[in-house]
Structure 1
Amino acid sequence: MSAINNQLTSLEICAGAGGQAIGLESAGFDHVALVEVDHHACNTLRYNRPSWNVIEDDVRKFDGKPFKGIDLFAGGVPCPPFSVAGKQLGWDDERDLFPDALRLVEETGPKAVMIENVKGLMSKKFANYRKQILRKLEQLGYLGDWKLVYAADYGVPQLRPRAILVALKEAYWPYFNWPSQTEEKRHTVGEALYQQMKSNGWEGAAAWKNKANAIAPTIVGGSKKHGGADLGPTRAKKAWLELGVNGKSLADEPPGPGFEGTPKLTVRMAAIIQGFPEEWVFTGKKTASYRQVGNAFPPPVAKVIGGAIASALRKEQVFDKPGIELEFAFSEITKK
């Protein structure tokens, strides 16, 4: 599973509707397989990328040994064990897939690892949990670090803080550095959704755009057991209302001529807030589609962090890390 023609290979678990996969693809990774248990999400992946090897299976049952030697092992393991809504049970939560993620890292032996989760994982309560994961990775020959990353820092019109773990084989770690925030202008909700809001002839779209002049709160997808097609708990709905959005449910289409009141988001609008490409199609009914959107890792964030990993694997960039003699090289990304 080694890279061919300088193309880096990746295996992703808990792939969802493809947010992380899209970003990593843009960063230069060729997906040898994407593992996802949700049928609707698998259909979305297959619809948009027929060439991808989508494996519809439970990660707990997945055997990583056939994929030995990939460049990157990535994934967004379920967040309920570390979220407030999920009661933050951590190791004691049967939904915790970090043990299986570590098993698969050991089976596949990648050069790099990237795993994302909710902000709650970065709390003091889980400090020991994070250390244990780094310790296990160190035993497998990796050096790594955790970082709290905000999607808004990378051009996404949404706050969306996420806990990111990046680890690389010791030979590559000196070349990795967390990317700084993008220099792109931060887009407000109004700027991001204006074209959609006016697409059906709503005369109030321009005025709405001026009101929705801030970054969105975190999109919440809900689980299969709890939550539906709405924009989250009471606090989130209140934040959306301040932006001129009714978060109690989703609309089937943008507001039309003569619409009065507070507009709702469509699934497509939510996807734009998450940073998905306009052409990406979500399969399934509205609630199933929205859950795919809400639970996703924003593609622009995955692209930036994936790009930093790719550069490290090619030993292209130089960073001032104490005690390490660095080589000087220029990446293709820098040249462009």
Structure 2
Amino acid sequence: MRSVELFAGAGGLALGCELAGFKSIRTVEWDKWACDTIRENKANNYSLVRNWNVVESDVRNVDWSDIGDIDLVAGGPPCQPFSMGGKARAADDKRDMFPAAIDVIRKLRPRAFILENVRGLTRSAFSNYFSYIQLRLAHPLITARDGEIWSDHYARLQAEHTSGHSDELEYHVIPTLVNAADYGVPQQRHRVFLVGFRADQQAEWSFPAPTHSYDSLLHSQWISGSYWERHKVPPIKRPVLSDRDNRRVKILGELQTADTDLLAWQTVRDALVGLEEPAANGSKKHLNHVLQSGAKSYPGHTGSPLDLPAKTLKAGGHGVPGGENMLRRIDGSVRYFTIRESARLQTFPDRYELHGSWGEAMRQLGNAVPVRLGQIVAASVAEHLLKAGFRSQADAHILRELSAI
């Protein structure tokens, strides 16, 4: 199946789509450093990106006339207009690229799309604009008129949507807020996905169910003890539980069971297995594994605990608000995550090299979709597109037989 990736960044969602069976026809990203990351991995003959056509450009300036039929459009429009760490200006922010993404969907008419963004998009302050985005995705042919402000366009879309009239091009859109940790990513990363299927696909789809849980992690650590045994951590080097988690563990113990259908959340310790302690002169065994000095801990800037999923990696290097790009050891000491460690937290393959300085690579990683999460979502979409294709073929066969009678 053929896909197009927009706002590809370092390639997190695009890699996930490739692992799910999609073949990228065009990978678009405006940032030079991120494009260089993909190009260098192509030059190194990394299998997943070997055949990618990387276009370094603003999505709005790309010519799509020669692209042909596309099964999937995927991408993460820039999140700054909706980020709680930014000015949160939504439609009034020139960096809002949802209109550009919708325009590409209108032109290519893919069978499905996957768009990802920060959970700030679901804040009550943005509720109308979030609904507006969904309606625009559902009816991409109903474009804004010259000089029409978004709120007037929104009202017109609402009227069209409730009129019962069928557009030539319509999508069924499913918005879902997820925590990447619930899908085996060693990071608590809350993101909203907007997944849509073209109305003629007859895809009966729902967002994939979580595979991992915090309770299962607590059970493995404090009831069965299997987590500590696996990592060979003696009692004296284990963290102290908070009162709240102590009560939670007590309840889990009284139940004499864990949620056996779910695996344990993956922790920072899990993610770093096999990586040696970083040194200033780098590593001969692992790419991008170089110690970055200068990490400091102070109130509100404490880093990610070793035995939990990491805090959300941020698009920056030094001084991100909560110290999210730092590791906090059991003794309270801290250091910055190396690029390779951060890539592990974002579930990038170890052979995938990040281009640029530590700060530049951290920006690419902080903006990325975790590869594993992207793969899970894309694989589910692919499965339903294949089923829809089989149904269409069966329906066509029945129609041919009926017409022959």
TM-score by length of 1: 0.77
Q: Deviations over 1:297-323 (max 9, x none)?
A: 000000000011101111279xxxxxx
Q: How far apart, CA to CA, are the structure 2 residues paired with 1:165 and 1:130?
A: 10
2:265 paired residue number: 186
2:369 counterpart (297, 314, 335) = 297
In the TM superposition, residue 184 of structure 1 has moved relative to its aligned partner by: 4.1
Kindly tell me: are residues 173 and 136 of structure 1, through their superposed partners in 2, closer, same or farther at Cα, counting changes over 3 Å? farther
2:69 paired residue number: 69
Where in structure 2 are the equivalents of 1:9-20 lying within 5 Å? 9-20=2-13
Preserved contact between residue 213 and residue 243 of structure 1 (Cα < 8 Å): no
2:318 paired residue number: 230
1:257 paired residue number: none
In the TM superposition, residue 86 of structure 1 has moved relative to its aligned partner by: 1.8
Preserved contact between residue 6 and residue 75 of structure 2 (Cα < 8 Å): yes
Q: Deviations over 1:26-62 (max 9, x none)?
A: 1010000000011111111122234210000011212
In the TM superposition, residue 199 of structure 1 has moved relative to its aligned partner by: 6.7
1:284 paired residue number: 356
State the AA in 2 paired with 1:303: Q
2:185 paired residue number: 156
Q: How far apart, CA to CA, are the structure 2 residues paired with 1:231 and 1:111?
A: 42
Q: Deviations over 1:273-318 (max 9, x none)?
A: 111111110112222112111111000000000011101111279x
Kindly report the root-mean-square deviation, in angstroms, between the aligned alpha carbons of the 2 structures: 2.4
1:171 paired residue number: 200
State the AA in 1 paired with 2:116: E
In the TM superposition, residue 194 of structure 1 has moved relative to its aligned partner by: 3.9
Whether 1:37 and 2:66 are equivalent positions in the alignment is no
Q: How far apart, CA to CA, are the structure 1 residues paired with 2:195 and 2:358?
A: 34
Alignment partner of 1:125: what SS? helix
Gaps of 5+ in 1: 1-7, 202-210, 223-228, 247-260, 318-326, 328-336
State the AA in 2 paired with 1:264: Y
Kindly tell me: are residues 285 and 131 of structure 1, through their superposed partners in 2, closer, same or farther at Cα, counting changes over 3 Å? same
Q: How far apart, CA to CA, are the structure 2 residues paired with 1:245 and 1:196?
A: 20
Preserved contact between residue 327 and residue 337 of structure 2 (Cα < 8 Å): no
State the AA in 2 paired with 1:196: L
Preserved contact between residue 244 and residue 263 of structure 1 (Cα < 8 Å): no
* Alignment coverage as a number of residue pairs: 280
Preserved contact between residue 154 and residue 184 of structure 1 (Cα < 8 Å): no
Gaps of 5+ in 2: 42-48, 140-168, 212-261, 284-304, 390-394, 396-405
Q: How far apart, CA to CA, are the structure 2 residues paired with 1:86 and 1:315?
A: 41
Kindly tell me: are residues 231 and 159 of structure 1, through their superposed partners in 2, closer, same or farther at Cα, counting changes over 3 Å? farther
Preserved contact between residue 187 and residue 309 of structure 2 (Cα < 8 Å): yes
Kindly tell me: are residues 130 and 262 of structure 1, through their superposed partners in 2, closer, same or farther at Cα, counting changes over 3 Å? closer
Where in structure 2 are the equivalents of 1:1-336 lying within 5 Å? 8-48=1-41, 49-139=49-139, 140-182=169-211, 183-198=262-277, 212-222=306-316, 229-230=317-318, 232-233=320-321, 235-237=322-324, 240=326, 242-243=328-329, 261-315=333-387
Kindly tell me: are residues 243 and 121 of structure 1, through their superposed partners in 2, closer, same or farther at Cα, counting changes over 3 Å? farther
Alignment partner of 2:274: what SS? helix
